[in-house]
Structure formats: structure tokens, C-alpha cells
């Protein structure tokens, strides 16, 4: 309905609104034009019966004219068509009954015709339930009247009017016109409604198709973005590997003090750059849904010691007190979970705590909240007495690429990805991070995690490569390196020479297989992406060799690729280990030791 119609409005266009369905519009039109017809018909009837001196009928026709005029005005002023229809039907029903029982005291063809109009009108205007109600209200009294009259016992103290032929003709004529008008109107709008439904169905189908295409496009571009980032990571990490590796080597070469200082800056910046690349990659991995959580055995206390051990030094360098408090109930327990991801979460939170604290302390607390049979709930908390976070920023800092403030970005650097990664890693495990902070006083980051507990005793650190192996053992190792990048080859050679190892170099996978056929090697360091034959195919060839010693030679994959599935692929291809470039020299040598000592 339109709000702007005034009291003196008589136009139908002003009371029909575009939002209404075709059927409702048809209902309003039906009332509007129907009122005209009924008004004219009752006017003619009034004149006819009045001049014949049929007073009861004249009153009835007059009442009908008056009611119709009032309802018409109501419709053109406030088109509440349901209420108006009810009013019209109630008046119609009362008139019908009064004609049968009082005015005429008989039933004739006009009565029946009017009942039919009422039935059709009530169904079309108000639907099934009200249609049935008004139909019964009009037919039952007539049937009752017929029964009473049949028994000859209908007596009333009013003299009935006699209806003449002219009145019958006028009434029949009016009701025929009304019936035809109602049906015709409704049928047209019914067809229109079906057409509209069909059209909106077609529109919906077109929209769905567009939507599907848009989703497909978005997915494609996300995939392209993610692939691009992975490729870029490889491209960036390869030279970065050389920079970090070379600076490590130079540091081992007892540099002069001023050279050492420069080297430290070089190493720090390269490591920083690597951390940023890794953050972007991790975030990309999570966002593209490629992250799969591991469920392996680990000792939480050892893990926390390891993560915080390195950070403790950083805190001490800044003159901060660093405390790690672990609940005694968690000691000597082995859990199932993903230690890599827990490390990543704690590492990010602790690094931030140290980064944003100038004096005071950083406190990492691990508490056992609940210890059921084979499940524990652990609360992790990282607290600091640092700069704090504005309350308005508490939510936004969890969003990617969002930092506390521009000034903070300039002062502390970073990508604004650390907390976004933490949040997403926790989200994916159905956990939530809580942050409490006060500007100038410090912050606390909290989250809970549940772990299934392994029933086995914690493994003793027998296979940890902390055991010192004699220097000459390493020096005696025959190492084959399959690597096409000249800088990397140079780097590896220099690195291994520190342990007295002189490696053999194969410039691609095919050469590595040939070397294996003709020579004896204790271990292979295999780059994965090489020309002619890649690392996977070369491993495959080697594993097929007839000599069991050669076929089972330990192979460590070396790659700068950061693709999520690469680790699984490496093990699937039959390699024994995986070192991601750029690696720390100690990591590589530990891997070599653990694999060769076992053999
Ligand atoms: P980045 O550290 O690379 O800036 P993060 O996502 O780790 O990115 O952190 C986002 C922002 O949250 C930081 O820039 C900093 O403003 C704020 N923040 C995070 N941890 C702390 C903390 N412990 N104390 C104060 N501010 C913090």
C-alpha cells in the first residue's frame, strides 16, 4: 500500500503497490470495480422495489448501497482489502438471511444466485478457510429455512414482500455480471502469476549460473595466488639459503671483531626476511585449506622447554626476566597432537611478548585444568609487562596484516601476520584465544587445548642426536649431493668440509643414479627440483636397485619448497628425511648423523 493516499483519493492506481503479488492486486481491483457494479445494481433494485411499495426490500437495497459506498471509500483511503472483504461478506450474509427469513420468507432463483456470488467471492478474496466459513454461513440457514418451510411451521408476524419479474431480471442480470467479472478477473491474474513465477524461476537460474561462475573464478584466482606464493617462496628461499648459509660459514671462520659484527647484522636481517617469508607462506597454507594437523606422540614439557629455550636468550639480551612455569601434573606424560603447530603458536606469542616489552618480565605458564583418564585440558598463558594493547585494537590485531599502530609498525617491524596465524591455527582446532591487556602495564594471551594422553611411558631421549659421535666418523662418511644450483653446491661443500666430509656432486637426478650404480655412498642429500631428472624420480630409481645396500641408502630431501604436501610426498617417495632450505648447519648434520648411525 502506498502511504501518500489522501482521504479524497478515488483512484485505484494509488492504492495498488508494485510490491503486491498479481493476485493481491487482482483482489483490490475486484473490490474496487465490484463495488461499482453492486452499487449500481442495488441502486436500480432500490428504485424498482421502492416504486412497487416493497418497503422491506427497499430498505435492504438502500442499506446495501450505503454499506457499499462506505466500504468503497475505506478501500480508496486505506486499502486493507482483507478487512473490507470480511465486512462486505458479513453484510452480504446478513442481507441474504434477512431476505430469506424476513423480507420474502421464501427462496427464489435470485437468492441462489446471490449465494453463489458470495461463495465464489469469499473463496477468491480470503482463501480456503474463510471461503468455507462464509459458504456455510450462507447455505446452512437456507437449508434450515427449507426444512422448516417443508414442515409448514415457519411463522413470523411480518407480511412478506412480493418480488416482481422486473426485480428478478435486474437481480439475475447483476449477479451474472458479477460472477463473470469475478472469474474473468481472477483467471487473468492467475495466469499472470504463473508467468511471473516462471520468469523469476528463470531469473533465479541465470543468477545461480552467474554465482557458480563467480565462485569458480574466485576459487581459481585463490589457487593461482596460493601457487604463486609457493613458487615465489621457493625462488626467495633459495638465494636466502645461500645468504644464511654463507654467513654461517663465515662466522665459523673466526672473523675479525668488526667483520663479526657485520656478519651478525647480515645473518639477523636474512633470518628476519626468512621469518617474514615463512609467515606469509604459513598464512597462505592455512588460508588455502592445505594445512593438515598431525596427530603424533610428543612430550609437552620437552616441547615447551625447546620453544622457550631459544626465546629465553632473546629475553635475556633485552634485560627481561623470563619465566616458564609448567604444571607438575603434565610432567612424565605423553600426549597426542601436533607439536609443530603448538610450537608455532607459542613461538609467535612469546616472540611478540619479548618484542613489545622493554622492561620487566615475560611469563609463560602451562597449567593442567582437567586431568581425566586419558584426556587432559591444558591452559596456555603468555604474559608480559610490555606496552599493552588498546582495547579497541584487541579484535583487529587478530586480523591478517593488522598491527597495533603505524608508529608501532615503524618501531617494531613485523608483518602483522603472527597473531592471524595463531588465531587461525586455534580456530581450525575449535579453540579460541583470549587477550587481556592494559596500555603501559602489559598483556596476557590465553588459550586452552585438549590432548589425548598416550598410555606409554615417555620415551627416553636415546635417539636424540645429543650423543657425541667421534669426529672421524663423520669425516669417513661418503656423501653424495644431488644439486643443480652452483651456489648451493658451493655452500654445501664448504659446510660439510667443517666436519671433514668431502662430498661427491651430481648435477641432476640422473647423474645421482649413475653415481649410485658405480659407487658406494653412505647417504644422499637430494634436491627435489632438478633438471633432466628430479629428486623423486631419482629416489625411485635408486630404491629399485638390485643391491640391497644401495637400494636402502638413506636419502635426505633438500628443498626450498614450502608446499604443504611436500613432506608427505618426500616420505611417500621413499626418502628417509627432510630438511627445508635454508637450514641450520647443526640441523643438517644431526639428520645425517641420526640416519647414518642407525645404519
Ligand atoms: P607483528 O608482530 O608482525 O606486527 P602480529 O600479528 O604478531 O604481527 O601482531 C599484531 C599487532 O598486535 C602488533 O603489531 C602489536 O601492535 C600487537 N601485539 C601483539 N602482541 C603484543 C604484545 N604482547 N604486547 C603488545 N602488543 C602486541
Domain ranges for the chain: 12-206, 222-275+278-285, 291-454, 471-598
- The per-residue pLDDT of the chain, averaged, comes to 84
Q: Whose CA is nearest to atom 23 of ligand 1?
A: 353
Tell if the pTM clears 0.85, that is, is over it: no
Q: Which of these CATH numbers, 3.30.70.20, 3.20.20.70, 1.10.150.20, 3.30.565.10, describes 291-454?
A: 3.30.565.10
Taking the CA of residue 388 as reference, the ligand 1 atom at the shortest distance is 25
- Rounded to an integer, what distance in angstroms lies between the CA atom of residue 53 and that of residue 276? 104
What sign has the CA pseudo-torsion 114, 103, 101, 167? negative
pLDDT in tens, 20-52: 777 888 889 889 998 998 899 899 889 988 888
| Ligand 1 proximity of 443 Cβ (cutoff 6 Å) | yes
CA 464 to centroid of ligand 1, rounded, Å: 35
Taking the CA of residue 415 as reference, the ligand 1 atom at the shortest distance is 3
Give me the pLDDT at residue 593, please: 81
CA 354 to centroid of ligand 1, rounded, Å: 10
- Rounded to an integer, what distance in angstroms lies between the CA atom of residue 190 and that of residue 196? 10
- Look at residue 551 and tell me whether its pLDDT is greater than 50: yes
| Ligand 1 proximity of 384 Cβ (cutoff 6 Å) | yes
By C-alpha distance, which of 127, 28, 21, 120 is closest to 74?
A: 28
- Rounded to an integer, what distance in angstroms lies between the CA atom of residue 282 and that of residue 290? 10
| Ligand 1 proximity of 420 Cβ (cutoff 6 Å) | yes
Residue 360: band (very low, low, confident or very high) from pLDDT cuts 50, 70, 90: very high
CA 348 to centroid of ligand 1, rounded, Å: 9
Can you tell me whether residue 359 is helix, strand or coil?
Answer: coil
CA 504 to centroid of ligand 1, rounded, Å: 46
- Look at residue 537 and tell me whether its pLDDT is greater than 50: yes
CA 583 to centroid of ligand 1, rounded, Å: 27
Which has the minimum average pLDDT: 293-307, 425-439, 458-472? 458-472
Q: What phi and psi values does residue 569 have, to the nearest 5 degrees?
A: -60, -40
CA 310 to centroid of ligand 1, rounded, Å: 20
471-598 maps to CATH 3.40.50.2300: yes
- Rounded to an integer, what distance in angstroms lies between the CA atom of residue 153 and that of residue 148? 6
| Ligand 1 proximity of 458 Cβ (cutoff 6 Å) | no
- Look at residue 5 and tell me whether its pLDDT is greater than 90: no
End-to-end, the C-alpha distance of the chain in Å comes to: 88
Grid cell 473463496 is found at 123
| Ligand 1 proximity of 357 Cβ (cutoff 6 Å) | no
- Look at residue 144 and tell me whether its pLDDT is greater than 90: yes
Report how many helices (DSSP H) and strands (DSSP E) the chain contains, helices first: 17, 12
Rounded average pLDDT over 113-134: 92
Residue 366: band (very low, low, confident or very high) from pLDDT cuts 50, 70, 90: very high
- Rounded to an integer, what distance in angstroms lies between the CA atom of residue 267 and that of residue 244? 6
Strand partners, 379: 367, 448
Amino acid at each position: 500500500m502506498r502511504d501518500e493516499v489522501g482521504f479524497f483519493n478515488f483512484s485505484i492506481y494509488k492504492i495498488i503497490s508494485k510490491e503486491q503479488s498479481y493476485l493481491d492486486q487482482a483482489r483490490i481491483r475486484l473490490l474496487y470495480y465490484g463495488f461499482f457494479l453492486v452499487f449500481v445494481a442495488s441502486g436500480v433494485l432500490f428504485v424498482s422495489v421502492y416504486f412497487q411499495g416493497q418497503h422491506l426490500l427497499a430498505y435492504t437495497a438502500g442499506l446495501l448501497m450505503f454499506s457499499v459506498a462506505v466500504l468503497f471509500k475505506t478501500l480508496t483511503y486505506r486499502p486493507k482489502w482483507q478487512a473490507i472483504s470480511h465486512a462486505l461478506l458479513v453484510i452480504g450474509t446478513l442481507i441474504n438471511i434477512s431476505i430469506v427469513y424476513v423480507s420474502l420468507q421464501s427462496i427464489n432463483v435470485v437468492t441462489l444466485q446471490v449465494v453463489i456470488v458470495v461463495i465464489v467471492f469469499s473463496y477468491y478474496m480470503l482463501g480456503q478457510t474463510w471461503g468455507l466459513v462464509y459458504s456455510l454461513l450462507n447455505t446452512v440457514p437456507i437449508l434450515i429455512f427449507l426444512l422448516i418451510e417443508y414442515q409448514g411451521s415457519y411463522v413470523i408476524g411480518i407480511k412478506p414482500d412480493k418480488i416482481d419479474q422486473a426485480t428478478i431480471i435486474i437481480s439475475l442480470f447483476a449477479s451474472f455480471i458479477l460472477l463473470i467479472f469475478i472469474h474473468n478477473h481472477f483467471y487473468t491474474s492467475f495466469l499472470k502469476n504463473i508467468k511471473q513465477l516462471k520468469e523469476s524461476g528463470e531469473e533465479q537460474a541465470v543468477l545461480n549460473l552467474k554465482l557458480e561462475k563467480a565462485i569458480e573464478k574466485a576459487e581459481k584466482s585463490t589457487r593461482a595466488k596460493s601457487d604463486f606464493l609457493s613458487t615465489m617462496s621457493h625462488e626467495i628461499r633459495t638465494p636466502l639459503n645461500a645468504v644464511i648459509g654463507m654467513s654461517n660459514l663465515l662466522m665459523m671462520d673466526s672473523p675479525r671483531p668488526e667483520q663479526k659484527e657485520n656478519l651478525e647484522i647480515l645473518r639477523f636481517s636474512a633470518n628476519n626476511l626468512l621469518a617474514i617469508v615463512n609467515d606469509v607462506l604459513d598464512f597462505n597454507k592455512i588460508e588455502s585449506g592445505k594445512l593438515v594437523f598431525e596427530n603424533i606422540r610428543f612430550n609437552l614439557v620437552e616441547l615447551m622447554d625447546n620453544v622457550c629455550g631459544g626465546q629465553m636468550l632473546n629475553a635475556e639480551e633485552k634485560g627481561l626476566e623470563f619465566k616458564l612455569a609448567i604444571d607438575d601434573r603434565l610432567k612424565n606424560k605423553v600426549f597426542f597432537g601436533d607439536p609443530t603447530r603448538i610450537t608455532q603458536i607459542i613461538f609467535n606469542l612469546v616472540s611478540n611478548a619479548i618484542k613489545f616489552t622493554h622492561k620487566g618480565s615475560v611469563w609463560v605458564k602451562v597449567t593442567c585444568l582437567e586431568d581425566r583418564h586419558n584426556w587432559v585440558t591444558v591452559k596456555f598463558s603468555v604474559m608480559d609487562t610490555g606496552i599493552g594493547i588498546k582495547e579497541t585494537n584487541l579484535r583487529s590485531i587478530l586480523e591478517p596484516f593488522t598491527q597495533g599502530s603505524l608508529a608501532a609498525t615503524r618501531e617494531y617491524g613485523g608483518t602483522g601476520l603472527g597473531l592471524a596465524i595463531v588465531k587461525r591455527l586455534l580456530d581450525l582446532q575449535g579453540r579460541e584465544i583470549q587477550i587481556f591487556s592494559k596500555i603501559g602495564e602489559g598483556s596476557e594471551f590465553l588459550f586452552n587445548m585438549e590432548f589425548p594422553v598416550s598410555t606409554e611411558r615417555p620415551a627416553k631421549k636415546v635417539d636424540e642426536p645429543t650423543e657425541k659421535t667421534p669426529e672421524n666418523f663423520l669425516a669417513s662418511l661418503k656423501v653424495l649431493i644431488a644439486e643443480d644450483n652452483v651456489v648451493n653446491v658451493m655452500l654445501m661443500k664448504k659446510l660439510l668440509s667443517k666436519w671433514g666430509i668431502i662430498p661427491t656432486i651430481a648435477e641432476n637426478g640422473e647423474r645421482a643414479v649413475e653415481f649410485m650404480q658405480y659407487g658406494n655412498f653412505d647417504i644422499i642429500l637430494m634436491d627435489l627440483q632438478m633438471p633432466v631428472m628430479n629428486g623423486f624420480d631419482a629416489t625411485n630409481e635408486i630404491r629399485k636397485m638390485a643391491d640391497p645396500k644401495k637400494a636402502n641408502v638413506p636419502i635426505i630431501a633438500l628443498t626450498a619448497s614450502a608446499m604443504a604436501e611436500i613432506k608427505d610426498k618426500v616420505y611417500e617417495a621413499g626418502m628417509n628425511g627432510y630438511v627445508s632450505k635454508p637450514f641450520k648447519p647443526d640441523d643438517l648434520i644431526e639428520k645425517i648423523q641420526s640416519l647414518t648411525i642407525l645404519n
